[in-house]
Amino acid sequence: MTDLDHPTAPEAPGGPDEAPANDYVIEVSDLRSQFGDHVVHDGLDLNVRRGEIVAVVGGSGSGKSVLLNTIIGLKSPEGGLVKVFGQDVDKAREAAGLERRWGVLFQHGALFSNLTVRENVEAPMREHTRLSAREMEELADLKIALVGLRPDAGALKPAELSGGMRKRAALARALALDPDLLFLDEPTAGLDPIGAGAFDELIRDLSDSLHLTVFMITHDLDSLYAITDRVAVVADKKVVVQAPVAELETSDHPWIREYFLGPRGRAAAKARVQASEA
């Protein structure tokens, strides 16, 4: 086993190609989140299956980022249970090595401004592995190429990158430890439509080729139509529905109807249909 290897899930009964009925990477049950007297979530349930791209949407203040932070262990829940890879995150994150099995792309990249792109990508390796300096450099260059950055980008500082390049550099760092699960917080925010579309395509390609499970928070309707398998809508302090986008278009929930059937939602749906027919 190399330093970048991580524990694998036990094989399902019947062999490795037969997925268990409850093949969930993320399980959130009856979650309660609050800050003082302010209750953000109350009875929230959410499941993400292995290999899915699941997006979370909701109005401002609905607690999307709180949900993400709770799943990755940055916030302890006031009630309920959060499991990732079958492990209670609030109790076993460090002991189970969960952090090595996921990567996180934060909304603004959160790159270290005083480090080069290569050094940023190496940072998780320095923390979680015993690889040599040369091995880390070679792996970092591999991840940089994987996300579509040119070879000389590794020597640049974040301030020398465009917005789209910074997103890709942050994604390369999120992939540094070969995770099974990728968290994306508003991955296309701040990108122009062409750059956002290219980033969506990159996420879909990486998910397919690396067999990644992807959990993302987004407001980007084009992303929802282009790459998601299911969308979870957070409203009324819980997930009110989890379904493919096409099914959400028939929902009677007021917020969902306004979001998906408003002018921007209709435009995104039309663009997706045109793209599929081209």
Q: Which residues pair with 233 in a beta bridge?
A: 57, 241
**Three-state secondary structure string covering 75-98:** CCCCEEEEEECCEEHHHHCCCCCH
SS3 state of residue 235: strand
Does any domain span residue 13? Answer: no
Does any domain span residue 219? Answer: yes
Q: Whole domain around residue 273: which residue ranges?
A: 25-277
100-115 per-position pLDDT tens digit = 899 999 877 689 999 9
Phi, psi angles (nearest 5°) of residue 7: -60, 140
Under the banding of pLDDT at 50, 70 and 90, the label for residue 11 is very low
Under the banding of pLDDT at 50, 70 and 90, the label for residue 272 is low
Average pLDDT over residues 120-131: 92
Q: What local confidence, expressed as pLDDT, does residue 19 receive? A: 41
Does any domain span residue 18? Answer: no
Phi, psi angles (nearest 5°) of residue 215: -120, 120
Does any domain span residue 176? Answer: yes
Does any domain span residue 4? Answer: no
Does any domain span residue 44? Answer: yes
- Alpha carbon 56 to its chain's center: 10
Does any domain span residue 2? Answer: no
Q: Could you give the number of structural domains in the chain?
A: 1
Q: Which residues pair with 273 in a beta bridge?
A: none
Show the CA angle centred on residue 168, arms to residues 166 and 169, nearest 5°.
65
Token digits for 257?
């109807």
Residue closest to 72 by CA, chosen among 103, 117, 108, 109: 103
Does any domain span residue 6? Answer: no
Model pTM score: 0.85
Token digits for 215?
């959990």
CATH number, domain of 132, equals 3.40.50.300
Residues in the chain: 278
